[in-house]
A and B are shown apart, each in its own frame.
Chain A
Amino acid sequence: MAGEAAVAVALGSLPEEYLDVKSLIELHRRLREVRQKIVKRMLEELRGETPEEILAKASVVLQQHAPEVEELLEELKRRGVDPIKASLEATVEGYAEVLRLDAPVGGGKTLADLLYSGDKLVGKMHEVLMAFFMRYTEIECEPKCAPEDAERLARLATLELAVTTLITLFRQGKLDKEQLLTALDRAIDEILVA
């Protein structure tokens, strides 16, 4: 159940860093709020900033918040929605949209403009996004997610939350650019084998 909660709350958190998500339905909005609460708690409780620590912490905090998420999951199930399948479908769509590279990033520029300008950090983030996207599109949840796929999704969801936390740490000035680049590169290895 903790795995299901991790998928529901953390899967697709990265595309939301780039997309306008006004259209989220009420339940998804509430899941997003739980995620924000989890990231906030992680940032408060983190003692170090290595990817291993962040990943371990993400796993623990996600488990601790599982009961809160389960309430929302029950509501989804009552409406006949398979939460894991629905999360995966929405996540793949979110990633596909970001990887169209035409999302505005401010200053009249798009993600493609930054990527083709040779910005190293944007290039590394692009690799991270593509790595997650490739892994998610490998998983098929038709008609239902196989248990091993659900487990893999939970591992990827935890990684996605860890990467989101790394980016937040960078934005808060707690990681410099080189540290973030190194951490993201290590995260890519984890994503590829998850």
Chain B
Amino acid sequence: MTHTFLDVGVIINCRQVNSSKKYATSCALRVIRDKVEKAVGLLLQKIENVKEIVQKYYGSHRTKARLGDPKTIAKKIAQLLYSHGYADVAFLFQVIAQYPIRDVEDLIERSLLRTRRRIDPMNFLTAIYLHVRKNRHTFADKVRGDVEKSLDQLGIEVVYVDDSDIWRKLGPGPDREDKYQILCIEKYRRDNALNNVTLLTTDHALAQTAKLYNVEAHLVSCAASA
């Protein structure tokens, strides 16, 4: 039997459907947590640039055409940031677009939907910015927990991998997170004497790296920029 694992790109960018059994490692969730933490730090630093990108795009729209549902706005902001070279910040909005993050859902319900039934993008961006400004030290952990809960509800099993050695031994470098995800899968395979494991990924480079560790990888096309 083949165990099919999802990488961070697939978890965050692809709409998950309840089909054949799939797995995600605790390491992938750690990467998501760390990327959200990084995105929060950058959003706090670069809020004026982020606002400018959103203002320029929506500024040419008529008022009513700007308004939308929160998930669509989050997805659009992620796309805009990605195309303007802010992929790290885009990650945060992509997670919000893809998963129900309880704090964010509460914020939308309690505050934003009281202004209008369809939300203004600058109201949405500003509310998210202020929320992470207030909760900068806890937000990433909450997101990790909420993504895990959603995966569980979608029938994607999150398996725990003892990563203490793996992360420490990996040197710094742009592909550190890629190698980390793959080494975690490799360790899980060894620890559980599994014959076949497959990785679904959105990233060509990660698929290549996977081959080096004898992990079969399949490219999936549903990137944030698509």
Q: Which residues of A contact B (CB under 8 A)?
A: 92, 96, 99-102, 110, 112, 115-118, 120, 123, 126-127, 130-131, 133-134, 137-138, 188, 192-193
Q: Using an 8 Å CB-CB cutoff, how does the interface string of B177-200 with A read, 1 for contact, 0 for none?
A: 000000000000000000000000
Q: A96-B114, A134-B131 are in contact. Are A118 and B55 (CB under 8 A)?
A: yes
Residues of chain A with a CB closer than 8 A to B48's CB = 120, 123
Q: Which residues of B contact A (CB under 8 A)?
A: 48, 51-52, 55-56, 58-59, 63, 66, 107, 110-111, 114-116, 120, 122-123, 126-127, 129-131, 133-134
A112 x B63 contact (CB < 8 A): yes
* Inter-chain CB contacts under 8 Å: number: 62
In the complex formed, the residue of B with least CB distance to A112 is B63
B55 x A137 contact (CB < 8 A): no
Residues of chain A with a CB closer than 8 A to B110's CB = 137-138
Instruction: Beyond A100-B115, A130-B130, list 19 extra A-B contacts (CB 8 Å).
Output: A96-B115, A100-B120, A101-B120, A112-B122, A116-B55, A116-B59, A116-B122, A118-B52, A118-B56, A118-B59, A123-B51, A126-B126, A130-B126, A130-B127, A131-B130, A134-B111, A137-B110, A138-B110, A188-B130
In the complex formed, the residue of A with least CB distance to B106 is A138
CB distance from A93 to the nearest CB of B (A): 9
A100 x B59 contact (CB < 8 A): no
Could you say which of A118, A120, A134, A137 contacts B130, with CB atoms under 8 Å apart?
A: A134
A92 x B114 contact (CB < 8 A): yes
Q: Report the separation of the CA atoms of residues A100 and B123 in the bound assembly, to the nearest whole angstrom.
A: 9
B133 x A115 contact (CB < 8 A): no
Residues of chain B with a CB closer than 8 A to A130's CB = 111, 123, 126-127, 130
Q: List 28 A-B contacts (CB under 8 A).
A: A92-B114, A96-B115, A99-B115, A99-B123, A100-B115, A100-B120, A101-B63, A101-B120, A101-B123, A102-B63, A112-B120, A115-B55, A115-B122, A116-B55, A116-B59, A118-B51, A118-B52, A118-B55, A118-B56, A123-B48, A123-B51, A126-B126, A127-B129, A130-B111, A134-B111, A137-B110, A188-B130, A192-B134
